[in-house]
Structure 1
Amino acid sequence: MRLNLIPVMAALLLSGCVPVQSVVNTAQLPSATEYGAHANPMEWWYVSAYLPGEGLALHWAQFRVQDARVPVPLMISHVAVTDLRTGQLTFLEQPAGSGEVSSPPLRLRQGTWTLTQAGTGPGAPLSLRAGPLDLTLTPVKGPVLHPPGYSGSADTGVLFYQGITRLALSGSVNGRAVQGQAWLDHQWGNQIPGQTALWDWFSVQLEDGRDLMVYRVRRLDGTVAQLIGSVVEPDGHVRAVRGLRAEPGEVWTSPTGRRYTLGWRLVSDGFDLSVRAVRREQELLSRSTRIAYWEGPVEVSGTWGAEPATGTGMMELVSGSWGPASGS
């Protein structure tokens, strides 16, 4: 009976009851190499990739949720694969249950889904085996802490934010050999998706070797609590984006009636970029986290300084909570 209560309590935690918030001190930033688990209500590790040459886009997420009402941390995981040639979107979930996190080297496990680091050095490859994914991810750049080191604000809660913005990807998806580039994120803190904050997030890998991250954190009433951006240069150096603006464009209404902004203009002191969703029908309704969100590949074009710029990436737009029983 106790095990049967775990998924129920996880659902309450993620969609019905905001847990007691732990204190997150943004004046004490973590190391960029801090991949292990933390004593915070919310934490996740995330891998995404758009593989234009393969006609595929994918993401995997491992959530770790902690609350005083549950005796052990709960693990929840997602895998989504979009076949752009057929238009098929596959979304798989592992509901709340037990799992394992250890570091260094990093090892995550929930059931048979694993992310395993081969060593402790900055270039140590990672193996991701989750459902249809059997991938090797080899860092091209070192880990970074995205300036200012966290996403969110005092009223939305904050998540420390570090990861690797470019990894060489090889392996197979649904048994089909693939290769390309991936992105790895790790966040932890006291912000609860859909309950204390929503967001619009962009990861862009430019053809000139730069990587751009833009994060627009929204309060539940839609007002913007924080807009941040970072650039990771080809040599791995990270810097904050100055004078950043995120201007919404085309809006798409999903079959569930939710509205997602699928076209954007990202502007700063150094660039002027247009972001276009490759495919509209990318809304995901998660039964395990009770969150509705859009996640899919994007193509980027514009200028960087005085030069033309092009790139590809992924975009995540969090709409809010979702109740599978009612479909609302």
Structure 2
Amino acid sequence: MSADRISRRAFAAGIAALALARRASAQGYAGLGESADGFAKVTPGRTFTFPADHGPHPDFRIEWWYLTANLVDSSGAACGLQWTLFRQAAQPGPQGEGWANQQIWMAHAAVTRADTHRFSEAFSRGGVGQAGVTAKPFAAWIDDWEMKGFERTDDRTLSPLTLKAAGTDFSYALTLEADRPVVLQGDHGYSRKSERGQASYYYSQPFYRARGTLTIDDKSVDVSGKAWMDREWSSQPLDADQTGWDWLSLHLSSGDKLMLYRLRQKDGKDYPFGNWISASGNTQMIAGGDIQMTPKATVDVAGRKLPVEWQIAIPSRAFSISCKPLNPKAWMGTGFSYWEGPISFAGTHDGVGYLELTGY
């Protein structure tokens, strides 16, 4: 690698870290409650258009392409992986060219087994081709990490795709396929995050079938299972008094899917919300008053107490489960630190999924 490339990479990472650290110390988790003056606003009634909405929305302050996968290897052992690309605008306005571009890109990759959790992080400044997203054919990348489609990729299902990433002690390469369209979360894609108007545009592809290879410490295994991708963009997804969230994506053995979250508020009046997705892809919102999310056990990680075991109930659906992590130590010690890892659950329903805990 040339000295010029090294200095540009270092410059990009430094600028990104400074900008992101400023926001992280502002309001709420990662500064997501910070005022978004000058950026586009999230309002109800938007019509989603594909493939365009698979691509970036630079008029909004933040967005992400976020995939988690619950897998098993050839011996039947459970494992999981995460691939995430974040875009954050340092300031609003027309897009600058080259190094003057105000977009900052950040990516996280992780693999988790019962006995280990590995993660890596990458940064880039926009405008120089090192990171970005294109809508058709779909491609999201930073350096050689990528989530990539083909000419034949279906815009409705965002399938098939290939996925790859590598850290110093792990790597993975998957093929993702789905036979049902992406799912609009919330109210036709308008996802409220508070009673005071904070919201995001949000859709998911929870029906991916994943197959490929996972390598840890130079030992490769074949893996297969289920994957879930989330797409969100917003300019102020949290209110200033919201400190973080507890989020779950659940693959039920029946074929149904369930997305749940609660936004934690400083006054203790959390904001929960959910979406039940049938095996055929139909959705039904679940009102906050019908969701019971109760932490049952905590673990000490990185000087924090984290609620990694949960009791979840939705009385209107006679739904009651207990969730346990594959690895309680699945801490992402990245620039914005958080807990993210695969879980299993049992009770009135059983299956696997992912849990994310931020702001602790």
Indicate whether the TM-score tops 0.5. Answer: yes
CA distance in 2 between counterparts of 1:163 and 1:48 reads 11
Specify whether residues 197 and 24 from structure 1 end up closer, same or farther in structure 2 by C-alpha distance, changes over 3 A only.
farther
Pairing partner for 1:173 from 203, 214, 218:
214
The match for 1:314 is 354
**1:89 partnered with 2:117:** yes
Partners of 1:151 and 1:217 within 8 A in 2: no
Structure 1 residues 116-125 or 143-152, which shifts more?
116-125
Structure 1 residues 95-104 or 232-241, which shifts more?
95-104
The match for 1:36 is 55
Partners of 2:298 and 2:309 within 8 A in 1: no
1:264-303 per-residue CA deviation (whole Å, 9 max, x = no partner) reads 22222102222222321112210xxx22211111111222
Matches within 5 A, 1:13-32: 13-17=19-23, 18=31, 21=36, 22-31=39-48
Partners of 1:51 and 1:57 within 8 A in 2: yes
Partners of 1:161 and 1:186 within 8 A in 2: yes
Give the aligned residue type for 1:50: N
The CA deviation at 1:255 is 3.7
Specify whether residues 82 and 4 from structure 1 end up closer, same or farther in structure 2 by C-alpha distance, changes over 3 A only.
closer
The match for 2:4 is none
Give the aligned residue type for 1:93: E
The match for 1:63 is 86
Q: 5+ residue gaps in structure 2?
A: 1-6, 24-30, 93-99
1:117-158 per-residue CA deviation (whole Å, 9 max, x = no partner) reads 222343430111211121111014320111133252376943
The match for 2:320 is 272
The match for 2:102 is 72
Q: 5+ residue gaps in structure 1?
A: 304-308, 321-328
The match for 1:145 is 184
1:226-269 per-residue CA deviation (whole Å, 9 max, x = no partner) reads 21111110111111124432332323242422121122222221
Specify whether residues 29 and 215 from structure 1 end up closer, same or farther in structure 2 by C-alpha distance, changes over 3 A only.
farther
The match for 2:306 is 260
* SS, match of residue 254 in structure 1: strand
**1:164 partnered with 2:205:** yes
Q: TM-score, normalised by structure 1?
A: 0.85
The CA deviation at 1:223 is 3.4
The CA deviation at 1:316 is 0.4
* SS, match of residue 46 in structure 2: coil
1:72-92 per-residue CA deviation (whole Å, 9 max, x = no partner) reads 3121111110122xx121111
Larger Rg over CA atoms: 2
**1:283 partnered with 2:331:** yes
* SS, match of residue 147 in structure 1: coil
The match for 1:115 is 147
Partners of 1:125 and 1:138 within 8 A in 2: yes
1:80-109 per-residue CA deviation (whole Å, 9 max, x = no partner) reads 10122xx12111111233412110332111
The CA deviation at 1:216 is 1.0
Matches within 5 A, 1:234-245: 234-242=279-287, 243-245=289-291
The match for 1:326 is none
Work out the number of aligned pairs and report it: 309
Specify whether residues 194 and 125 from structure 1 end up closer, same or farther in structure 2 by C-alpha distance, changes over 3 A only.
farther
- What percentage of residue pairs aligned between the two structures are identical? 25
CA distance in 1 between counterparts of 2:304 and 2:210 reads 33
* SS, match of residue 350 in structure 2: strand
CA distance in 1 between counterparts of 2:337 and 2:282 reads 34
More strand by share: 1
Pairing partner for 2:172 from 106, 129, 133:
133
Pairing partner for 2:272 from 227, 233, 242:
227
Specify whether residues 312 and 94 from structure 1 end up closer, same or farther in structure 2 by C-alpha distance, changes over 3 A only.
same
The match for 1:249 is 295
1:24-74 per-residue CA deviation (whole Å, 9 max, x = no partner) reads 232233527421111211111011012243421111111111122863312
Structure 1 residues 249-258 or 270-279, which shifts more?
249-258
CA distance in 2 between counterparts of 1:264 and 1:32 reads 36
Specify whether residues 211 and 255 from structure 1 end up closer, same or farther in structure 2 by C-alpha distance, changes over 3 A only.
closer
Structure 1 residues 113-122 or 162-171, which shifts more?
113-122
CA distance in 1 between counterparts of 2:269 and 2:147 reads 33
* SS, match of residue 236 in structure 1: coil
More helix by share: 2
Specify whether residues 159 and 9 from structure 1 end up closer, same or farther in structure 2 by C-alpha distance, changes over 3 A only.
farther
Structure 1 residues 255-264 or 124-133, which shifts more?
255-264
* SS, match of residue 38 in structure 1: coil
For the aligned residues, what is the CA RMSD? Answer: 2.6
* SS, match of residue 262 in structure 1: strand
CA distance in 2 between counterparts of 1:82 and 1:16 reads 30
CA distance in 2 between counterparts of 1:157 and 1:9 reads 28
